[in-house]
Chains A and B, each alone.
Chain A
């Protein structure tokens, strides 16, 4: 659905991704239909509120969703290698991923092993996924570890190598996580809510650091956030997820100016920037459907002001609509009807 330069396989190509967890009353679907692709060097944002399936999608790509949960995908290809058929723990899949895709997480302090120093953890990942030189020489690994800490702008890197995770602040810990992720020189970095757990001032620093590193290394970035503003600041294209499926995807300016899906429109309208000073912030009534009781038709229908009878009966497909893909029978801002601010009736 997204334009990928012809002749180039995208770095990451996902289609028809579904993840379900067995429950006491049948399977519970966390992701029903996720589809997106990331080209080399680009930044793709995924937005959605908690429970929309964005984190689970990322974990499924990384092979970190364990049995008894079930992961299926029509397409799951990394750098042209189809891994959809390989089990998550498969050695070949792990090797393929470890050198190409790295991930950083929401809670950096909890994501660092409390028993090992920063230096030891960097050394470990370099031993696993570093260059041949680095894997062979301890001194090389130490030099590279220092270099990585400098790259993520950690002051006094030599002293920091000996520090343990509990001695780091949240922002510092996320920088260390980024250094660990960069150690394997990945072609794609998946950042799952990388700034959500951090102070506002630190958030901006970490985002700026990610942008700088991306420019320096040319890696692609998959930015997952519930915060549309964060995604807008980072990404060129954005995928909007709701209740386990992609509801809209397209270029960031288009999505902001002319959101097609009523859910995207509500997200944009809820941004503090789009509300005049003093006016109450827009809120979307209702909540994400319980994955155990998914609506029969459109998953957004129960909260949608535009719903018609058709919406509660038939599930709309993700359809291309003038540059952006949208999963809606009655999209807003059709090419025929020019953009109207606050178009939600």
Chain B
């Protein structure tokens, strides 16, 4: 297990080089630069522009700029935002809990619906229930996120008025951000009205962000369950008079979970990238929204630092999933 962990940890080095290189190259490929963005429509005289470019270190050759950046990152410094002049790491740390809160509830929704739906489809294979679940999963998977979000907003927010259109909490509530998780903070403050407001703001974005992972989880659960339901030990468990629910949940689903967990780990990357779009649609103040603004403002440190941090988190989560894989699979745990 330790050797396995070390081997996986060693992969972080090439991944780090790849991610920084790609993030650096992509943001520099976009036409324009931060100085142009600052000067706006009125323009700026050449001398002032040259001074600013020099100040940001953008007048040097790209390879030098890249190496400077990497050197800086290796010292734990992700630079400061060119627009807000705040350290990138601090901005990220402030906004990240909002994204985690959103992604967590999206995943929770995807699991709470996807696992039972997939299991049901497998148990009732080739029946109407199976076709409905799989049809809905395919629809969810192929639906463009922004369109799905707009549909939900039009129906639940505009038509029915059940949920707010955007943001994390209604403006009248001022809750001290101790953890950064709005639901936790409002609960700690004991402010039930604020908690309800935060919850109603969370529902639609979480549903939208969770839709694709839900579809993936439902489909993978169905196929993993179909495989397991054919196994001898399922027949043996049934021969002992165990009830259907017990056989399906305790024996079949437990064994099917082994391939499912791998897929759930991969969904985390999808959740964080999906969050960028979802947060933009719902004006959710998380890192997705922040990155989009960074790209628009050609805020190089924000984009590079943000991408690097997200990549690090995805790698870490997948590492945790690999460890979890050993925990849920006795054949790996007791080699």
Residues of A within 8 A of B (CB): 59, 62, 64, 89, 94-95, 97-99, 102-103, 105, 107, 110-117, 124-125, 128-129, 164, 166-167, 177, 180-181, 183-184
Is B159 close to A, CB under 8 A? no
Give Cα A117–Cα B331 distance, bound, in whole angstroms.
Answer: 11
Is B244 close to A, CB under 8 A? yes
Give Cα A111–Cα B237 distance, bound, in whole angstroms.
Answer: 8
Report A-chain residues with C-beta under 8 Å of the C-beta of B243: 94
Most-contacted residue by chain A among B233, B241, B334 (CB, 10 A): B241
Given contacts A64-B235, A105-B236, A177-B236, is CB(A114)–CB(B242) below 8 Å? no
Min CB distance, B48 to chain A, in Å?
A: 68
**Is B254 a contact partner of A115 (Cβ separation < 8 A)?**
yes
Report B-chain residues with C-beta under 8 Å of the C-beta of A125: 240, 242
Given contacts A64-B235, A111-B235, A177-B236, is CB(A94)–CB(B241) below 8 Å? yes
User: Could you write out 28 A-B pairs with CB less than 8 Å apart?
Assistant: A59-B235, A62-B239, A94-B241, A97-B241, A102-B239, A102-B240, A103-B239, A105-B232, A105-B235, A105-B239, A107-B232, A110-B232, A111-B235, A111-B236, A113-B254, A114-B233, A115-B251, A115-B328, A115-B330, A117-B330, A124-B242, A129-B240, A164-B330, A164-B331, A180-B236, A180-B240, A184-B240, A184-B241
For chain B residues 201-232, which have a beta carbon within 8 Å of chain A?
A: 231-232
Report A-chain residues with C-beta under 8 Å of the C-beta of B328: 115
Give Cα A112–Cα B235 distance, bound, in whole angstroms.
Answer: 10
Report B-chain residues with C-beta under 8 Å of the C-beta of A110: 231-233
**Is B330 a contact partner of A128 (Cβ separation < 8 A)?**
no
Report A-chain residues with C-beta under 8 Å of the C-beta of B236: 103, 105, 111-113, 177, 180
Give Cα A183–Cα B241 distance, bound, in whole angstroms.
Answer: 12
Give Cα A125–Cα B240 distance, bound, in whole angstroms.
Answer: 7
**Is B241 a contact partner of A128 (Cβ separation < 8 A)?**
yes
Given contacts A112-B233, A113-B255, A167-B334, is CB(A64)–CB(B239) below 8 Å? yes
Report A-chain residues with C-beta under 8 Å of the C-beta of B232: 105, 107, 110-111
Is B8 close to A, CB under 8 A? no
Give Cα A125–Cα B233 distance, bound, in whole angstroms.
Answer: 13
**Is A128 a contact partner of B233 (Cβ separation < 8 A)?**
no
Is B51 close to A, CB under 8 A? no
Report A-chain residues with C-beta under 8 Å of the C-beta of B241: 94-95, 97-99, 128-129, 184
Give Cα A102–Cα B242 distance, bound, in whole angstroms.
Answer: 12
B233 interface neighbour in A59, A113, A129, A184, Cβ under 8 Å: A113
**Is A128 a contact partner of B242 (Cβ separation < 8 A)?**
yes
Most-contacted residue by chain A among B238, B243, B250, B251 (CB, 10 A): B238
Residue of B nearest to A93 (CB): B241
Q: Which 7 A-B pairs have the closest CB atoms?
A: A98-B241, A110-B232, A111-B236, A164-B330, A113-B233, A103-B239, A111-B232
Give Cα A125–Cα B251 distance, bound, in whole angstroms.
Answer: 13
Residue of A nearest to B244 (CB): A89
Min CB distance, B28 to chain A, in Å?
A: 50
Report A-chain residues with C-beta under 8 Å of the C-beta of B330: 114-115, 117, 164, 166
Report B-chain residues with C-beta under 8 Å of the C-beta of A116: 254
Report B-chain residues with C-beta under 8 Å of the C-beta of A59: 235
Most-contacted residue by chain B among A94, A113, A124, A184 (CB, 10 A): A113
Give Cα A110–Cα B236 distance, bound, in whole angstroms.
Answer: 9
